[in-house]
Chains A and B, each alone.
Chain A
Amino acid sequence: MLQTVWLIPLLPFLSAVLLMVTAGRMPRPLVAMLGAGSVGLSAVVVLLFGMQFMQAPEPYTLTLWSWMRVGDFAPQFSFYIDQLTLVMMAVITGVGFLIHLYSTEFMEEDSDYSRYFAYMNMFVAAMLILVMADNLLLLFLGWEGVGVCSYLLVGFWYKDPANGAASRKAFVVTRVGDTAMALGLLLLFTELGTLQIQPMLDAANNTWVSGDTLPALAALLLLGGAVGKSAQLPLHTWLPDAMAGPTPVSALIHAATMVTAGVYLIARTHGLFLLAPDVLLLVALIGLVTLLLAAFTALNQHDIKRILAYSTISQIGYMFLALGVGAWSSGIFHLMTHAFFKALLFLGAGAVIHCLHHEHNIFKMGGLRSRLPVAFWSFLIGSAALAALPFTSGFFSKDPILISAFEYHGSIAGIGPWLWVGGLLGALLTAIYSFRLVFIVFFGEANTEPDRQPGWRMAGPLTLLCVLSLFGGWFALPLASVFPAESAHHPSMLIEGISISIPLLGVLVAWLVYYQRKVSVSRFTDSPTGNSLRQYWHSGWAMDDLYDNLLVKPFVGVSTLLRGEPVDKVYNGIVGVCQLVHRGLSESQTGKMRWYATSMVFGLIALITFLGWGI
């Protein structure tokens, strides 16, 4: 059974290839069966595999073939399965299958049904290769594969140029991180001589000691890739724009799986990061700053998907924070629960959008509680989990992160509580913006009538995800053997109490402001300072403008300068000189043969004079 692990990425891949080569000539039911079924089958294989694996949980390596051979460098096409991989595989195939099933209904009216599933299946295959890869090069193949699929899916409705621009932005911004990562791979290979993850980590441990420059540099470069892929500061600007793709795509790629690849990468190479504690602290700080920035921004959005996008950025910030403070399993745990509830939220949002004539603006919704009950309950449960209300899955995963942050003893003493405070502030904001969403969309007056109800293929996955979001946190992940042991948490009751009460406080605030409307935000936002602050937050701390001014405009300026071809001017000058000389010399070309002959004779005389001198 263990040997059949290669089936897991192969099934979606074959399905994708089949869908691509038939180029939309297959009947839709067949496409749906193939697209969703292949991922479902993969999920079944993962399940069976996982059951067998857990009986003897030893890391399992399967080498398929030698990929290429360049001198001593001979990377294998091989898979490495341990508990971490298993969790990732389960999330990818399980959540992926649910989203595929959901998509069969969501995308029903789209003319490019087959192309959609081809891309989606290809994405699942690439993502599986990413997490199952035995060496960093194969990981990088999957890494770029998911990037390409993300590009294709964000720009799925390519007829609108704005979508094309969004996909291009997503591709280019992540490319910045990928370049750093490729450099990191090269550095690791030149220094350690292998890219196979486990031997490489062993070699790193043997070669370097904690605090060396080289591991810090390598970790930094890998972090660059992770930051790009996981939409963390400063490379987070692409994710909100990536919402231009179909909503299930946002759910699968930009919430549940791909954007967490950075977290997976850091977790997978934690041995390297442990050698660079400063970089680890940087990871934590990046996570913290990102989660706060994104949370503030999410407060101000009115596009339902953009709220969720900023929320995603914020939650991945939590994961980074967890990784940074050494709470590895908690980070991965949060990755999994986040996959559940964020997929649930996106799919719920998709149901709302689907049933409301593709309406995105939350202020044009309202009162949908009774009209779209499925969506309402999904949202309610998803938001509860997101806000980490007690006994939801989000609570079980977020709480240990905060406690780990509080107890953090890193390279800067006493920074732990500050991280904790920041995390708590983020949690408060999370509760506020998530319930703001719930109250505005589902309560109050109805602004738009839904024209249909979600069918079973949408409702079914939603229900399943609701269950997972509620109870997914009750399982302990078997990650103990993968990561170094974490010190047992002994939080004081006070800390626990604060952690539990903060989200509730946030819900209360949201209830007061957006449901009871006891406190008016408009008074604050109408004042000049408030308004500008609102605008500022709404634009995501004006990061896009910043990058525009900092990078794009100088680049365009240089391009404009170069369009005048200053280098060519030099050559044109040479040409001009040549032409001048040419005109002068062509005057000597009289066309009279006798003169040519005579000048030749002059030359001959000179030649013989010189040559004959010595004789």
Chain B
Amino acid sequence: MEGVVIPLNHVLIVAALLFVTGLAGLMFRRNVIFILMALEVMLNSAGLAFVAAGTAWAEADGQVIFMLILAVAAAEVSVGLGLVLQIQRRFKTLDMDQARRLHG
């Protein structure tokens, strides 16, 4: 079984589209859960770009980086969701515009 021959540019454009979608979500959602989801989308799109590049050059490094991204995502989500619970508990809201105690 071999991989399918696809122009790398197309895969990267798909990754860029996903990334941009996640970025837009990050910018306009106020709910912290959606912000985290947008982050996941962005991380995943980066992973897609890496894997695509890896298969394009027939190197395993792309997937290695993808695995590291997975580890980062897992750690980020576990801490992030813990924070979500605390935010809900303390601010009684998930709206990050309300939870702005760090403002200057």
Interface hits, A354-370 → B, CB 8 Å: none
B35 CB within 8 Å of chain A? yes
- Which of B29, B99, B101, B104 is within 8 Å of A587, CB to CB? B104
Select one of B23, B35, B101, B104 contacting A593, CB under 8 A: B35
Residues 14-66 of B contacting A (Cβ, < 8 Å):
23, 26-30, 35
Give the CA-CA distance A597 to B28 in the complex, in Å: 10
B window 47-104: CB within 8 A of A: 96-97, 99-104
For B102, give its contact among A588, A591, A598, A601 (CB under 8 Å). Answer: A591
Q: A585 to B104: give the CA distance in the assembly, Å.
A: 8
Docked-complex contact B104 and A601, CB < 8 angstroms: no
Distance between Cα atoms of A597 and B35 in the complex (Å): 10
Q: Is the CB–CB distance between A588 and B104 below 8 Å? A: yes
Task: List, in ascending order, chain A residues with CB within 8 A of B100's CB.
Answer: 590-592
The 7 closest A-B pairs by CB, nearest first: A586-B104, A591-B100, A591-B103, A589-B104, A591-B102, A593-B96, A597-B26
A490 within 8 Å of B by Cβ?
no
A594 within 8 A of B: yes
Give 20 new A-B contacts, CB below 8 A, not counting A586-B104, A594-B28, A598-B27. A588-B104, A589-B102, A589-B104, A590-B104, A591-B100, A591-B101, A591-B102, A591-B103, A591-B104, A592-B100, A592-B103, A594-B26, A594-B27, A594-B29, A594-B30, A594-B96, A594-B97, A597-B23, A597-B26, A597-B27
Report chain B residues within 8 Å CB of A593: 35, 96
Q: Mark A305-340, 1 if CB is under 8 A from B, else 0.
A: 000000000000000000000000000000000000
Using an 8 Å CB-CB cutoff, how does the interface string of A576-600 with B read, 1 for contact, 0 for none? 0000000001111111111001100
Distance A587 CA – B104 CA, assembled complex (angstroms): 6
A585-B104, A586-B104, A587-B104 as given contacts; A592 in contact with B27, CB under 8 Å = no
Q: Interface of A with B (CB < 8 Å)?
A: 585-594, 597-598, 601
A601, B103: Cβ atoms closer than 8 Å: no
- CB-CB nearest in chain B for A604: B23
Given A597-B27, A601-B27, CB of A592 within 8 Å of CB of B96: yes
Q: Which residues from B are CB-within-8-Å of A598?
A: 27
Please list the residues of chain B having a beta carbon within 8 angstroms of any beta carbon in chain A. 23, 26-30, 35, 96-97, 99-104
Asked if A589 and B27 make an inter-chain contact with CB atoms under 8 angstroms apart, the answer reads no
Chain B CB count within 10 A is highest, among A585, A590, A594, for A594
Q: Which residues of chain A are within 8 angstroms of B35 by Cβ–Cβ distance? A: 593
Q: In the complex the two chains form, what is the Cα distance from A594 to B32 in whole Å?
A: 10
Q: From B28, B99, B100, name the one whose CB has the most chain A CB atoms within 10 angstroms.
A: B100
Closest A residue to B25 by beta carbon equals A597
Residues of B within 8 A of A597 (CB): 23, 26-27
A522 to B48, alpha carbons, bound, how many Å?
113
Bound Cα distance A597, B30 (Å): 12
State in angstroms the CA–CA spacing of A589 and B102 once bound together. 8
Q: How far is the CB of B31 from chain A (nearest CB, A)?
A: 11
Q: Which residues of A contact B29 (CB under 8 A)?
A: 594
Sample (12) of A-B pairs whose CB atoms are under 8 Å apart: A590-B100, A590-B103, A591-B99, A591-B101, A592-B96, A594-B26, A594-B28, A594-B96, A594-B97, A597-B26, A597-B27, A598-B27
**A19 CA to B102 CA in the complex, in Å?**
68
Measured in the bound complex, the distance between the Cα atoms of B26 and A594 in whole Å is: 7
A594 vs chain B, min Cβ distance (A): 6
Instruction: Tell me, in angstroms, the Cα distance from A546 to B96 when the chains sit together.
Output: 75
Residues of A within 8 Å of B101, CB to CB, are 591
User: How far is A591 from B99 in the complex, measured between Cα atoms in Å?
Assistant: 8
Q: Across the interface, which residues of B come within 8 angstroms of A591, CB to CB?
A: 99-104
Residue of A nearest to B26 (CB): A597
Rounded to whole angstroms, the CA-CA distance of A587 and B28 in the bound complex is: 21
Question: Assuming A588-B104, A591-B102, is B23 touching A601 (CB within 8 A)?
Answer: yes
Whole-angstrom CA separation of A588 from B104 in the bound complex: 7
Nearest opposing residue in chain B for A584, CB measure? B104
Contacting residues, chain B, for A592 (C-beta < 8 A): 96-97, 100, 103
Question: What is the distance, in angstroms, from B50's C-beta to the closest C-beta of chain A?
Answer: 18
The CA-CA distance from A585 to B102 in the complex, in Å, is: 14
A590 to B99, CA, bound (A): 11
Tell me the bound Cα distance from A590 to B103 in angstroms.
Answer: 5
CB distance from A89 to the nearest CB of B (A): 79
Q: A594–B102 Cα gap in the complex (Å)?
A: 13
Most buried by B among A585, A587, A591, A598: A591
Inter-chain CA distance A585–B103, complex, in Å, is 11
CA distance A523 to B102 in the complex (A): 89
* Contact indicator A589/B103 (Cβ below 8 Å): yes
Give A601 to B42 CA distance when docked, in angstroms: 13
Give the CA-CA distance A598 to B101 in the complex, in Å.
19
Q: How long is the Cα–Cα vector from A591 to B97 in the complex, in angstroms?
A: 7
Nearest opposing residue in chain B for A589, CB measure: B104
Interface centre among A586, A587, A590 (most CB of B within 10 A): A590
Residues of A within 8 A of B27 (CB): 594, 597-598, 601
A589, B103: Cα distance in complex, Å: 5
Chain A residues near B102: list those with CB within 8 A: 589, 591
Most buried by B among A585, A589, A597: A597
Closest to B97 in A: A592
Cβ contacts under 8 Å, B104 to chain A: 585-591
| Min C-beta distance of B42 to chain A, whole Å | 10
Residues in B with CB closer than 8 Å to A587 are: 104
Complex alpha-carbon distance, A591 and B104, angstroms: 7
B53 to chain A, nearest CB (A): 17
* Complex Cα gap A592–B30 (Å): 9
Bound form: Cα–Cα A412–B92 in Å: 102
Residues of A within 8 A of B30 (CB): 594
Which residues does chain A contribute within 8 Å of B28, judged by CB atoms? 594
> How far, in Å, is A343 (CB) from chain B's closest CB?
80
**Bound-state Cα–Cα, A586 to B35, Å:** 24
Which residues from chain B contact A590 at a C-beta distance below 8 Å?
A: 100, 103-104
Question: Whose C-beta in chain A lies nearest to the C-beta of B96?
Answer: A593
Looking at the assembled complex, report how far the CB atom of A615 sits from the nearest CB atom of chain B, in whole angstroms: 14
